[in-house]
């Protein structure tokens, strides 16, 4: 059975008071649900979140360097993330691609760094509205999957999670229909299979304005194994409601 995961990406939001107010409450609910949840706070709060989560949730970093160490002021490495207790890293988020010019080549190297450090990598892929309207959505995402995961070895596929996040649906309030999201997830699984990956055992998450009122319909699709949640992860009530939307028989 594939792992079912709900992951919360705080982006550049958060404070010590948010950690104190939110993490313990969410961790308690997640523990009672018996499911896998991950939270990606800003790097400054990672250690505090790990402590507050008390092993009920996994914690990850939102970005890592392409280098393992060295004179790279302001960067943080995958080995450092593992050293402080992180279990995940986020790679290739659309904001990294659009705002910072991150390429598929860089995504591949950063993924390699995470895997080599023993971390799980949630690798993000997704098309723009222009690409979708031009009929290029599946081709665009297929290229991102193939190139971004090009350095994964056969032994490392168990550390890979892919998150499909249509760029036009992130923070806009728009969400892909369950049918559209399922079609892309199925296509991604096909690309993984063609790469020689154990496609049926790799978790695929949907990200793009997932909320409590649409999560259940999305998670009911056969190839959607959970969600990568943005703004709703900053609310304990909303995030827990999304976690509760995972079908009960798929909780770990």
In DSSP notation, 81-114 reads HHHTT--EEEE--HHHHHHH---HHHHHHHHHHH
Residue with tokens 């939110």: 22
Residue with tokens 């790097």: 43
Tell me which H or E stretch contains 28. Answer: helix 24-33
Among 93, 112, 185, 221, the one annotated catalytic: 93
Which two structure tokens, joined as six digits, stand for 219? 């998670």
If phi > 0 it is left, if psi is from -120 to 50 it is alpha, else beta; for residue 42 that is beta
For residue 84, the 8-state DSSP code is T
Is residue 185 annotated as a catalytic residue, yes or no?
Answer: no
Contact call for residues 111 and 149 (beta carbons, < 8 A) = yes
Distance separating alpha carbons of residues 105 and 109, to the nearest angstrom: 6
Beta strands in the chain (DSSP E): 5-9, 36-40, 58-61, 88-91, 120-125, 160-164, 203-206, 226-229
250 phi and psi, to 5 degrees?
-110, 0
Is residue 251 annotated as a catalytic residue, yes or no?
Answer: no
Among 36, 102, 112, 165, the one annotated catalytic: 165
Which two structure tokens, joined as six digits, stand for 154? 């056969």
Q: Which residues are catalytic?
A: 93, 165
């Amino acid at each position: 059975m594939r792992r079912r995961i709900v992951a919360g990406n705080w982006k550049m939001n958060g404070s010590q008071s948010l950690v104190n107010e939110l993490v313990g409450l969410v961790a308690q609910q997640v523990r009672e649900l018996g499911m896998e949840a991950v939270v990606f706070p800003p790097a400054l709060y990672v250690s505090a979140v790990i402590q507050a989560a008390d092993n009920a949730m996994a914690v990850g970093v939102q970005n890592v360097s392409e280098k393992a160490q060295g004179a790279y002021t302001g960067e943080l490495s995958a080995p450092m993330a593992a050293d402080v207790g992180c279990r995940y890293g986020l790679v290739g988020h659309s904001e990294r691609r659009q705002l910072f010019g991150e390429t598929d080549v860089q995504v591949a190297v950063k993924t390699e760094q995470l895997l080599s450090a023993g971390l799980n990598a949630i690798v993000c892929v997704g098309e723009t509205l222009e690409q979708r309207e031009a009929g290029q959505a599946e081709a665009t995402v297929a290229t991102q999957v193939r190139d971004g995961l090009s350095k994964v070895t056969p032994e490392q596929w168990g550390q890979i999670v892919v998150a499909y996040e249509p760029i036009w649906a992130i923070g806009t309030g728009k969400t892909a229909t369950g049918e559209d999201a399922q079609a892309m997830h199925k296509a991604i699984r096909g690309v993984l299979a063609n790469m020689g990956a154990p496609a049926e055992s790799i978790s695929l998450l949907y990200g793009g304005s997932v909320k409590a009122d649409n999560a259940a319909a999305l998670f009911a699709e056969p190839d959607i194994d959970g969600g990568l949640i943005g703004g709703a992860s900053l609310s304990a009530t909303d995030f827990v409601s999304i976690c509760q939307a995972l079908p009960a028989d798929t909780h770990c």
